[in-house]
Amino acid sequence: MRSLRTWQTEAVRRIEADFNRSADTHLVRVPLPRYDGITLYLKDESSHPTGSLKHRLARSLFLYALCNNWIGPDTCLIEASSGSTAVSEAYFARMLGLRFVAVVPSATAQPKLDAIRFHGGEIHKVDDPRTVYDVAQRLAEETGGHYLDQFTNAERATDWRGNNNIAESIFNQMAEEEYPTPEWIVCGAGTGGTSATLGRFVRYNRRNTRLCVADPVHSVFHQYHRDRRVRSLALGCSSRIEGIGRPRVEPSFIAELVDRMVVVEDHQSIGGMRALSRRLGRNVGGSTGTNIWACAELAREMHEAGKKGSIVTLLCDSGDRYADTYYNDGWLLEAGIDWQGSAQEMEAFLSATM
Ligand SMILES: *Cc1c(COP(=O)(O)O)cnc(C)c1O
């Protein structure tokens, strides 16, 4: 019988080997001819093995749990997630030969459940979406397992000073650009982990870059950022942009690190997503549309103030997962999302010609 320590050593090796086999994600340059001297860059997180920036988070959560001696060869892993986090965690659980259970609201769409199951994850449905956290915690206790708890651990599981985290990777890839220190970095907040890493890294590296979080209109984060009072939204009020915007202020969202928040309507996110997809020649996800909308606002302000420089944002995932929803005109019509006007506006901003 192998010792726990030997198993953990092998588990860490497998995760590090996965990292070692991976190339860094691309930083895509998008010139904006209509905005003289302002260049947009997209950190393309869709190229991770599990297709989104949650691959980084899952890797960090697993290493954090292993190095805290929280998991061993018989630990059942539990997470409250119906989305990309569960997909990436299922991938790492299978790599280590561990059972993984995702606690999801019963209304979760079938393609998402299929993606979790594809990587070997199991599904535990709950009727009331508010109970996912408690149920995940309880399942962990009952099975003697471990609740990965992305919303609590995202900000602390990531090495914020370096280790090629998303921030360090961006700054390394910007090094030879015309304006290597971005004026702004724009991201969304789901757990808040990515914005926390970016905000800490720029301070530690003494950069003047400011951090902007693009937040869907039905999210509590921007309200909390404004007055530090509102901590949750009324039941039923939830973001329609997958991966970002939450009804409660998650513990990993560190408001002090965010210089600015831009509130984005759903039709703007979808219009932005469609226009950017056309400009790039491939489909991006909804939260990337939210990001691009905030970038346009910041670029316009820089342009009006006669400033030059770079703006970096994230391409969080590809449009593949949203073929039945954000890329389905009928679905958008039924959802009451009137996106065409916003798409036209964004196409003008992104235009490749003068
Ligand atoms: C999770 C997620 C985000 C936000 O990242 P956090 O680090 O969790 O705040 C943005 N876009 C997509 C598609 C996501 O899945």
More confident residue, 321 or 121: 121
pLDDT at site 327:
97
CB of 287 within 6 A of ligand 1: the answer is: yes
* pLDDT reading at 346 higher than 70: yes
- Name the residue type at position 348: A
Q: From CA 152, how far away is CA 154, in angstroms rounded?
A: 6
- Does ligand 1 have an atom closer than 6 angstroms to the CB of 286? no
Q: What is the pLDDT of residues 44-93, one digit of tens each?
A: 999 999 999 999 999 999 999 999 999 999 999 999 997 899 999 999 99
Distance of CA 153 from the midpoint of ligand 1 (Å): 14
Residues with Cβ within 8 Å of 224's Cβ and at least 6 positions away in sequence, in order, are 230, 231, 249, 253, 255
Q: Which CATH number fits domain 55-153: 1.10.1740.10, 3.20.20.80, 3.40.50.1100, 2.40.340.10?
A: 3.40.50.1100
pLDDT, mean of residues 211-235: 95
Q: Is the pLDDT of residue 136 over 90?
A: yes
Q: Are both 19-47+169-350 and 55-153 of the same fold?
A: yes
Q: What's the chain's average pLDDT? A: 96
Cα(85) to centroid(ligand 1), Å:
9
Q: Whose CA is nearest to atom 10 of ligand 1?
A: 243
Inform me whether the pLDDT recorded for 267 exceeds 70.
Answer: yes
Question: What number is the average pLDDT over the span 260-280?
Answer: 98
Given this model, what pLDDT does residue 334 score? 97
- Tell how far the Cα of 295 is from the centroid of ligand 1, in angstroms: 17
Tell me whether residue 251 is exposed, middle or buried, using C-beta atoms within 10 angstroms of its C-beta: 0 to 12, 13 to 18, 19 or more.
middle
Residues 182-196: tens digit of each pLDDT: 999 999 999 999 999
CA of 247 to the centre of ligand 1 (A): 15
Q: Checking phi first, is residue 133 left (phi over 0); if not, alpha (psi -120 to 50) or beta? A: alpha
Contact 202, 211 (CB under 8 A): yes
Q: Is the CB of 285 under 6 A from ligand 1?
A: yes
CA distance 354 to 112: 41
pLDDT value at position 105? Answer: 87
Mutate to test the pocket of ligand 1, among 56, 84, 221 (most ligand atoms within 8 A of CB): 84
**Amino acid 130: pLDDT:** 84
Give me the pLDDT at residue 128, please.
87
Tell me if 192 CB under 6 Å of ligand 1: yes
Pocket lining: 244 vs ligand 1, CB cutoff 6 Å: yes
343 lines ligand 1 (CB under 6 A): no
Buried b / exposed e over 9-47, threshold 16 CB at 10 Å, is: eebeeebeeeeeeeeebebeebebeebeebbbbbbbbbe
Ligand 1 site-directed mutation target among 244, 248, 292, most atoms within 8 Å of CB: 244
182 lines ligand 1 (CB under 6 A): no
312: nearest Cα among 207, 161, 189, 167: 167
CATH number of 19-47+169-350: 3.40.50.1100
Whether residue 235 contacts residue 76, with contact meaning beta carbons closer than 8 Å, is answered with: no
Ligand 1 atom 13, closest CA: 243
Q: Identify the helix (H) or strand (E) that includes residue 289.
A: helix 286-304
Q: Which of 185, 316, 325 should be mutated for ligand 1, with most atoms under 8 A from CB?
A: 316
What is the whole-number distance in angstroms between the Cα of residue 188 and the centre of ligand 1?
6
Summarize the confidence of residues 138-142 as an average pLDDT: 97
pLDDT, mean of residues 141-150: 97
- pLDDT tens digit sequence for 160-187: 999 999 999 999 999 999 999 999 999 9
Residue nearest to atom 2 of ligand 1 (CA): 243
Residues making up the chain, counted from first to last: 354
Q: Is the CB of 319 under 6 A from ligand 1?
A: no
| pLDDT computed for residue 1 by the predictor | 53
* pLDDT value, residue 290: 98
145 lines ligand 1 (CB under 6 A): no
Q: How far apart are CA 242 and CA 56, in angstroms?
A: 17
- Could you tell me the residue ranges of all domains in the chain? 19-47+169-350, 55-153
pTM higher than 0.95, yes or no? Answer: yes
Q: Are 51 and 320 in contact (CB under 8 A)?
A: yes
56 C-alpha to center of ligand 1: Å?
11
91, two tokens: 């991938």
Give the whole-angstrom CA distance, residue 329 versus residue 244. 22
Ligand 1 geometric centre to CA of 158 (Å)? 14
Closest to 22 measured CA to CA, from 49, 62, 60: 49
DSSP string, 8-67: HHHHHHHHHHHHHHSPPPPEEEEE-TTSTTEEEEEEEGGGSTTSBTHHHHHHHHHHHHHH
